[in-house]
Amino acid sequence: MAGEIRLHLTIATAFAITTALAAFCGAVSAQTQLETRIAAGAGKIRAACGDDIKKYCSTVTPGDDRLMLCIQAHEDQISHQCDYTLFEASRNLGHALDRIGQIADVCWDDIKRVCSPLPEGGWRIAQCLASQGILLTPACRTQIAASGASPAHDVRPQRIKIEAYPPTSPEQQQVYDLIKERQWLEKAQEFFGIFKLPEDITIKTRSCGMSNAWYTNGTVTICYEYLVDIIKSMPDKATPQGPMLLSASLATF
């Protein structure tokens, strides 16, 4: 009886987890090491149990755990190869999910702080943690590294990219010309390029329809409207102790 319960749980775990996560992982181009292992486990089950599924469950429509229930109904008839692979995959997936749970426990505050405002149709939590490693707490980075999914696999300097898009108004054109003439973006690239970063960071200027600046998904966006406001806020003339207008604007930039 205990063996039957254990087999039920193994089959349920293996099929429920692998069929769901395999489809989930398959839609993502950049997989983490844990996701790769999960996808590999699902592939082993499909390969080992393919004949059993065709033999006993060919009329079953996949979805809503129907394949899992079908295999459970024929658990005393499935091949030894399928039976063994289900146990192996369940064990390996259990370990992988344990590691994911440990990361979630230690990194939960980081996930809420860094990864909760996910872009539309965008990042997975794992992708967010991997790409935002520099913003994570030491405890979270340590746990990720201990789990074999280090977020900082390519830390190096000179990872600042710059882009300046043409403005949409004459007032903004003056700022655009200043940026080009005084090489503000190039100076920012040179200054921040000395820092070692785990990913490329793009500093980009463009018209936004509002005065603002923000960072998201590896890109710092600075609106021309914001730069216009900075310049307008500066004194018309340099005071005896103060810097020149353009120098002060560059420092604020």
What is the per-residue pLDDT across 123-179, written as a single tens digit (0 to 9) for each? 467 777 777 777 888 898 888 877 765 444 566 788 899 999 999 999 999 999 989
Distance from C-alpha of 197 to C-alpha of 131, rounded to nearest angstrom: 10
- Check the CA dihedral 120-122-126-131 and report its sign: negative
Q: In terms of domains, do 191 and 101 share one? A: no
210 and 234 fall within a common domain = yes
Domain boundary among 113, 146, 179: 146
State the average pLDDT over residues 22-34. Answer: 42
d(CA 104, CA 68): 28
* End position of a domain, from candidates 94, 111, 146: 146
137 shares a domain with 114: yes
In a domain, 123, yes or no: yes
Phi, psi of 62 (to 5 degrees): -60, 150
Residue 154 lies in a domain: no
Token pair 């490693």 is at which residue? 133
Asked if residue 88 has pLDDT above 90, the reply is no
- Is 218 inside a domain boundary? yes
Instruction: Indicate the residue among 120, 146, 172 that finishes a domain.
Output: 146
- 205 and 246 housed in the same domain: yes
Which range, 7-11, 23-27, 70-74, 107-111, has the best average confidence (pLDDT)?
107-111
Domain that includes residue 6, residue range = 2-146
Same domain for 130 and 173, yes or no, is no
Asked whether residue 6 falls in the same domain as residue 130, the answer is yes
Q: What confidence score (pLDDT) does residue 244 get?
A: 54
Same domain, 70 and 137: yes
Helix (H) or strand (E) holding 138: helix 138-146
Cα torsion through 109, 115, 118, 124, rounded to 10: -110
Q: pLDDT of 165-206, one tens digit each? A: 999 999 999 999 989 998 989 988 888 888 877 778 999 999
Q: Would you call 216 helix, strand, or coil by DSSP?
A: strand
The total number of structural domains in the chain stands at 2
66 and 179 assigned to the same domain: no
Least confident of 35-39, 42-46, 207-211: 35-39
Is residue 151 domain-resident? no
